[in-house]
Amino acid sequence: MWSVTLVLVFLSCGILAWRRRNRNKDEPPPLPGALPLIGHIHLLLGNSSQLWNTIKTMCYQTLNAGGVTSGYIGPRTLYLVTDPDNCLKIANICLQKDSFYKFLKPWLGEGLLTGDLQIWKVHRKLLNPAFNQTILDGFIDVHNRQARRLVKDLQVEVDKGPFDHFTYILLNVLETTCLTVMAVDFSDESLLNSEYVHAAEDMLEYIMERFQKPWLHSDVVFNWSSLKRMQDECLKILHNMSNTVLKKRKAEYLYNKQCKETEDTIKGPKLQTFMDLLLELAIEKGAFNDREIRDHVDTILIGGHDTSASVLMYTMLLVGSYHEVQENIYEELDNVFGNEDRDVTKQDLSQLVYLEAVLKESMRIYPIAPIIARKLHQDIKLRNCTLTKGRTCFLAAYGVHRHPMWGPDVEEFKPERWLDFETLPKCPAAFAGFGMGRRFCIGKTYAMMAMKTTLAHVFRRYRVSGSHLSMVTKMEIMLKPVSGHHVAIEIRKNKT
Ligand code: HEM
Ligand SMILES: *[C@@H]1O[C@H](CO)[C@@H](O)[C@H](O)[C@H]1NC(C)=O
Ligand SMILES: *[C@@H]1O[C@H](CO)[C@@H](O)[C@H](O)[C@H]1NC(C)=O
Ligand SMILES: *[C@@H]1O[C@H](CO)[C@@H](O)[C@H](O)[C@H]1NC(C)=O
Ligand SMILES: *[C@@H]1O[C@H](CO)[C@@H](O)[C@H](O)[C@H]1NC(C)=O
Ligand SMILES: *[C@@H]1O[C@H](CO)[C@@H](O)[C@H](O)[C@H]1NC(C)=O
């Protein structure tokens, strides 16, 4: 009964809005398939893998229409942009995340990813120093240790046929994130870790479901739904993780502070890891309240592990699918390391240019954040059209990565394209794997260092095989695999 009434209310709003829709003659062309009143809602139904197929189609339609289109969710008009220059322009003018991000707020609050613009401006500046290169260089031992641990854990799968490597990588990267930016050792908390990983997955699924059901967009209705109750169960587990991390670290911080006060204070600005910086700013300067501290920890936990783990998963699968690429990786590794099994150093990382190209190309083909969204706080004039203030604008990294400026081989997996500046697009926004404009990923350099170290260890030891074309993917905020992403591994025979 409730839902029937709501649908009716929703439809009447739709009628009103339909009449008022394109006042502006300069609107971008509409996506095909809109129905009266409901607009494109019917295309967004279906499960998350059907949704992903729809999004892909819409990205290609937008590319064909010149890079900007309009879509309609009932009474709302939204925009989809796949043109790199336009994306960058919008991303830099409109720093406020769209209201869809509020679905993430019960979990991530005012953390950097979801935070309101005014809070974000202050907090991003305060937290940036925690990702200074000098700090990141200090993590390289941990990355080596964790990479060796992953190689060892994978040993049981050697010659056993296809298996789900994602599960191994997820837990490994979560532990690494805790050890580095959080500076806590959670390796023994395997129960909490695996509970957290599952809860995070469920949470992303629920948020996507809410997006697909427009009547749940309103908090009033959502608060009565069973989805909300399921979400609350997940939140208990997710927040238990961040609370546990914080409790451990806070006690250590206060203890260390007590010890330090007796020593001489160190001169000059000192660089601190994320957690130390966060606690110092909160405890000494009162920069964050308790909820905000936890929001930042939650944001870095999910932003730090799920993303890198997914990229590693897709990269291993892609490399396993292309024999020559794997051979090229081996050649580079042999040149840098010979037959030695030593740790990867900072100098090695700058020499692993082909491996870096492979990572970037994997992120181009499978951007794990295929779509981000901004709120337009002003009208935006683009080359051929004008976007109307107050509306939602989707910036599609997936579409940007398939723009004709990549060349006729845009659909192919070709790491070599990154090694030749002549063939790379001149537009700096053509690669959007780490977001766009000033609100780009804070962990970009961290992630590249960590992933290169991990892959160097994995490919020094194993030969991977798989077939990415048989993979089925789904859209759950991030691009995730459903099936067919399994790989098989064998021990690599050394040359000579
Ligand atoms: C391969 C790994 C990674 C990828 C592909 C990635 C991708 C992205 C993307 C696309 C965004 C923009 C999201 C948006 O605009 O809505 C973003 C933002 C962010 N990422 Fe990452 N990320 C990665 C690793 C990391 C790591 C390791 C951390 C932290 C340790 C991190 C922390 C963040 C944070 C805090 C933001 C919000 C930035 C802001 O708005 O100021 N990410 N990331
Ligand atoms: C989504 O629906 C399609 C078609 O009904 C089905 O084949 C597929 O297995 C479903 N995928 C998921 C992830 O449920
Ligand atoms: C703008 O319009 C011109 C002419 O119709 C077209 O060739 C071009 O692709 C359009 N560009 C964009 C970015 O829409
Ligand atoms: C990192 O910190 C050092 C020392 O405070 C500073 O000189 C340097 O400019 C910082 N680098 C970046 C990229 O912020
Ligand atoms: C948090 O997780 C730990 C470890 O799984 C568990 O023992 C504890 O009961 C949990 N606390 C809450 C409030 O769920
Ligand atoms: C919905 O529930 C949350 C707590 O779970 C509460 O903070 C919020 O105010 C509620 N919103 C409405 C509109 O009832």
Tell me, what's the pLDDT at 267?
46
Tens digit of pLDDT for each residue in 400-429? Answer: 999 999 999 999 999 999 999 888 999 989
Tell me, what's the pLDDT at 496?
44
Tens digit of pLDDT for each residue in 294-314? Answer: 999 999 999 999 999 999 999
- Taking CA atoms, 307 is separated from 79, 313, 412, in Å, by 25, 10, 23
Residues with a CB atom less than 6 Å from ligand 2: 47, 49-50, 474, 482
- Which of 134, 136, 273, 449 to mutate to test ligand 4, by most ligand atoms within 8 A of the CB atom? 134
Report, as an integer, the average pLDDT of 155-167: 97
Tens digit of pLDDT for each residue in 49-95? Answer: 999 999 999 999 999 999 999 999 888 899 999 999 999 999 999 99
Tell me, what's the pLDDT at 185?
87
Among all bound ligands, the one having the nearest atom to the CA of 301 is: 1
Going by C-alpha positions, the residue among 60, 162, 198, 172 that lies closest to residue 468 is 162
What kind and span of H or E run contains 69? strand 68-73
Residue 55 CB coordination number (10 Å): 21
DSSP state of 435: -
Outline where DSSP puts E strands in 314-429.
371-375, 380-381, 386-387, 392-396
Distance 444 CA to ligand 1 centre (A): 7
Task: Give the mean pLDDT of the chain.
Answer: 92
The number of the ligand 4 atom at minimal distance from the alpha carbon of 134 is: 1
CATH of domain 2-491: 1.10.630.10
Give this prediction's pTM. 0.93
Whether 396 contacts 59, CB under 8 Å: yes
The CA distance from 315 to 362, in Å, is 6
Tens digit of pLDDT for each residue in 186-203? Answer: 877 777 889 999 999 999
The CA distance from 177 to 297, in Å, is 11
The number of the ligand 6 atom at minimal distance from the alpha carbon of 228 is: 5
Tell me, what's the pLDDT at 268?
45
The number of the ligand 3 atom at minimal distance from the alpha carbon of 66 is: 14
Q: ∠ CA(152), CA(153), CA(156), 5° rounding?
A: 100
Q: Which residues contact 139 (CB under 8 A, 6 or more apart)?
A: 180, 446, 449, 450
Q: ∠ CA(438), CA(444), CA(445), 5° rounding?
A: 120
Tell me, what's the pLDDT at 22?
55
| Phi, psi (degrees; rounded to nearest 5) at 318 | -65, -45
Could you state, in order of their start, the residue ranges of all structural domains in the chain? 2-491
Q: CA-based diameter of the chain, in Å?
A: 75
